Chain A
Amino acid sequence: MYKIVSKKELTNNIFLMDIEAPRVAKSAKPGQFVIVKNDEKGERVPLTIADYDEEKGTVTIVFQAIGKSTKELASFEVGYEVADFVGPLGQPSELIKEKIEDLKKKKIVFIAGGVGAAPVYPQVKWLHEQGVEADVILGSRSKSLMIFEEELKKVAGNLYVATDDGTYGFKGTGSDLLKDLVNNQGKKYDHAVIIGPMIMMKFTSMLTKELGIPTTVSLNPIMVDGTGMCGACRVTVGGQVKFACVDGPEFDGHLVNYDEAMRRQNMYKTEEGRKELKRIEGDTHHGGCGQCHEEE
């Protein structure tokens, strides 16, 4: 059993929890994720690691309460113990395998969409600790939905913010802002890391390809075990089938078959679920349900 030691609602239905899991905290690296199972009858849900503290033995997760399991998890209070918490899973970010002196020569930009800010944070923080200041573009639909701004400000080189509705910072998507920075403000980047909803990663990757910036994305397909034994999370990258849980979750953003990935994400979504998403997201519904990309 794994104890919830702190809990915070960051904004509208997005929750942060510190969970006691000493073995995971000790081994976690930026870019990895965990699988959480609430109780005996629960399903195994993959969630990104937003931070970790080896001394306290805690791992920070950030999630949007959207389906049955995440809503239930959000309802648990401090002191409650979740049944299973396994990780760290997946390959660590490829950045941490590079030589520090090489990283220092690179201009890196992170583009985070919505809850994607959470997995971006440990990577930017790690780079900061190595003396590498990466730029971060933080995009969300509206000011009230933005998370991790303060945390990222402390570790990013430049932090740029964008909201779809213009309530804060640049008006438009993170992708629009990147385009503006590169085309109008003379910014040059050697590498981009994009993390957010699949549709956002698809369109932002199309832009970075156009701009000639090598790109990494972190995929979030359906998973069951998360250890490579089932292939539920398989994605096509550069024409080859990969298991996101062991080969990824990070892949070359210019090689991912996003349409297939979005379609597969949708496999277990019900009619009710799609309606609920549309209701919550209203006019700003951007295809998080994986079926609306034609509307973009």
Chain B
Amino acid sequence: MDRFKRVPIAEQDPIVRATNFDEVCLGYTEEEAVQEASRCLNCKKPGCVTQCPVSINIPTFIQYIKEREFEKAARVIAQSSALPAVCGRVCPQENQCEGKCVLGIKGEAVAIGKLERFVADWTRENNIDISETLPPNGKKVAIIGSGPAGLTCAGDLAKLGYDVTIFEALHEPGGVLVYGIPEFRLPKDTVVKHEIENVKKLGVKIETNVIVGRTVTIDSLLEEEGFQAVFIGSGAGLPKFMGIPGENANGVFSANEFLTRNNLMKAFKEGYDTPIKAGKKVAVVGGGNVAMDAARTARRFGAEVHIVYRRSESELPARVEEVHHAKEEGIIFDLLTNPVEILQDENGWVKGMKCIRMELGEPDASGRRRPVEVPGSEFILDVDTVIMSLGTSPNPLIASTTEGLEINKRGCIVADEEGRTSKIGVFAGGDAVTGAATVILAMGAGKKAAKAIDEYLSNK
């Protein structure tokens, strides 16, 4: 075998999968996983580990796969990560662990993500329980939000013996894992539910339908309900709009709304009450992972879908794998294109989108070449639905109802490296602090905060 070539992984056929919501990537079989694991050089100073935000001992778990000791591999991962089946699927590994794999210099990096996924799926399918906790220490910690940051922080604290309660605003725990990332990238009933069950097995309680800032406040949790510390992992769920004319026309949605209706409310499934309108020709404005998710979802409703992005392909913020999958499924990319107005028919429904061509000018502060309008290049894109996927920012609700919690000018909670906020006993991490980022970075932040909370409460 060629050490520099990855063991290929099975995927659903693009033509078939563009009509269903089943998972696209089918995962490695046992044989394939063992074969892929055997490519790992087991480096003395592994670059991969340094690039993993939760520092999974990657070479060790891969060696166990090689030896077919899958349970041992699972235990190694569990020391660092509470959500391996999720991370193995949605992490941008090319920029993290796999980006520093030494094999990547001459050939293809070891498929660390796919191997992690294999171990997690194997553990689930074989009903292996790997939860271990220290005896209860009688101290109560509240976690706000049940997304990746909150689940990780909760899991780590529960393992240390804390009495942990997660408060979740929606009716289902998981945050972006349930409302944002679609079924075809991250199956809900099997993968997400199971990973949340694992966190519950550690003794973590989850109270859904509790909106912190409305139903309860952080101050009331600390002062009236006996919690000794709070972790805020409330994410960045507030959608941005462009502010262009026609944006409130019928048929214009935020990607959050479109994806929430579909993923959380299961609008795509027979028998569920929440409606969704995908239209026949859809423009998704934006170039991130969320834009790809929205576009591929609309495609699965049978629409002709355009990604409208103001820069060029090499600047697309979405993962390369997702862009590749989107193209395979027939998504059309209208690059160097920016909307200027949404046109409406006499009943107020979208009937087209006026766009302008862009070209790339001088690099801006972020180092990326700034898109500049080409004068006189306006044209009309013939669409009946527009999905705005321009990014999100933190919801101001928690900060505005918590005495003494400092936020910055972008609405993000100010916290140090360990997650300490300006308020004693209150910690924060994930998108609530950084603005919209990745699942694994949120998990990393949750982990650090758990450590800081443990230190804080141990010395108290």
Say what secondary structure dominates the interface of chain B: loop
User: Quick one: which of B238, B250, B273, B348 contacts A228, CB cutoff 8 A?
Assistant: B238
Report B-chain residues with C-beta under 8 Å of the C-beta of A83.
171
Of residues 39 through 84 on chain A, the ones whose CB sits less than 8 Å from some CB of chain B are 41-44, 68-69, 83-84
User: Is A125 interfacial (CB-CB < 8 Å)?
Assistant: no
Q: A159-167, A204-212, A259-267: which one contacts chain B?
A: A259-267
Distance of B346 from chain A, by nearest CB (Å) = 11
Number of interface residues of B (CB under 8 A): 39
A231–B254 CB distance below 8 A: yes
Cα A85 to Cα B169 in complex, Å, equals: 11
Distance of B235 from chain A, by nearest CB (Å) = 9
Report A-chain residues with C-beta under 8 Å of the C-beta of B131.
none
User: Is A227 interfacial (CB-CB < 8 Å)?
Assistant: yes
User: Quick one: which of B237, B277, B347 contacts A268, CB cutoff 8 A?
Assistant: B277
B215–A27 CB distance below 8 A: yes
Interchain Cβ contacts within 8 Å, total number: 107
B250–A229 CB distance below 8 A: no
Cα A23 to Cα B224 in complex, Å, equals: 13
Q: 1/0 per residue A77-100: CB within 8 Å of B?
A: 000000111111100000000000
Distance of A73 from chain B, by nearest CB (Å) = 11
Q: 1/0 per residue B242-268: CB within 8 Å of A?
A: 010001101101101100110001100
Cα A89 to Cα B277 in complex, Å, equals: 26
Distance of B339 from chain A, by nearest CB (Å) = 16
A229–B395 CB distance below 8 A: yes
Cα A84 to Cα B216 in complex, Å, equals: 17
Known: A44-B265, A260-B348. A225 touches B395 (CB 8 A): no
Cα A69 to Cα B208 in complex, Å, equals: 21
User: Is B210 interfacial (CB-CB < 8 Å)?
Assistant: yes
A23–B215 CB distance below 8 A: yes
B215–A228 CB distance below 8 A: no
Distance of B435 from chain A, by nearest CB (Å) = 15
Report B-chain residues with C-beta under 8 Å of the C-beta of A41.
266, 271-273
Q: 1/0 per residue A227-252: CB within 8 Å of B?
A: 11111101110000100001000000
Distance of A15 from chain B, by nearest CB (Å) = 18
Report B-chain residues with C-beta under 8 Å of the C-beta of A229.
179, 237-239, 256, 260, 392, 395
Number of interface residues of A (CB under 8 A): 37
Distance of B148 from chain A, by nearest CB (Å) = 16
User: Quick one: which of A27, A84, A88, A263 contacts B208, CB cutoff 8 A?
Assistant: A84
User: Quick one: which of A86, A263, A267 contacts B211, CB cutoff 8 A?
Assistant: A86
A246–B257 CB distance below 8 A: no
Report A-chain residues with C-beta under 8 Å of the C-beta of B243.
241
User: Is A24 interfacial (CB-CB < 8 Å)?
Assistant: yes
User: Is A128 interfacial (CB-CB < 8 Å)?
Assistant: no
B214–A43 CB distance below 8 A: no
User: Quick one: which of B169, B248, B260 contacts A234, CB cutoff 8 A?
Assistant: B248
User: Is B397 interfacial (CB-CB < 8 Å)?
Assistant: yes
A230–B248 CB distance below 8 A: no
Cα A231 to Cα B255 in complex, Å, equals: 10
Distance of A221 from chain B, by nearest CB (Å) = 10
Supplied contacts A43-B273, A229-B238, 8 more A-B pairs, CB within 8 Å: A43-B265, A86-B169, A225-B260, A227-B237, A229-B392, A241-B243, A263-B250, A268-B277
B interface residue numbers (CB < 8 A to A): 169-171, 179, 208-211, 214-216, 237-239, 241, 243, 247-248, 250-251, 253-254, 256-257, 260-261, 265-266, 271-275, 277, 347-348, 392, 395, 397
Q: Closest 4 CB pairs between A and B?
A: A230-B257, A229-B237, A86-B209, A43-B273
> Mind listing 10 A-B residue pairs with CB under 8 Å?
A23-B216, A44-B265, A84-B209, A88-B214, A228-B237, A229-B395, A231-B253, A264-B248, A268-B275, A268-B277
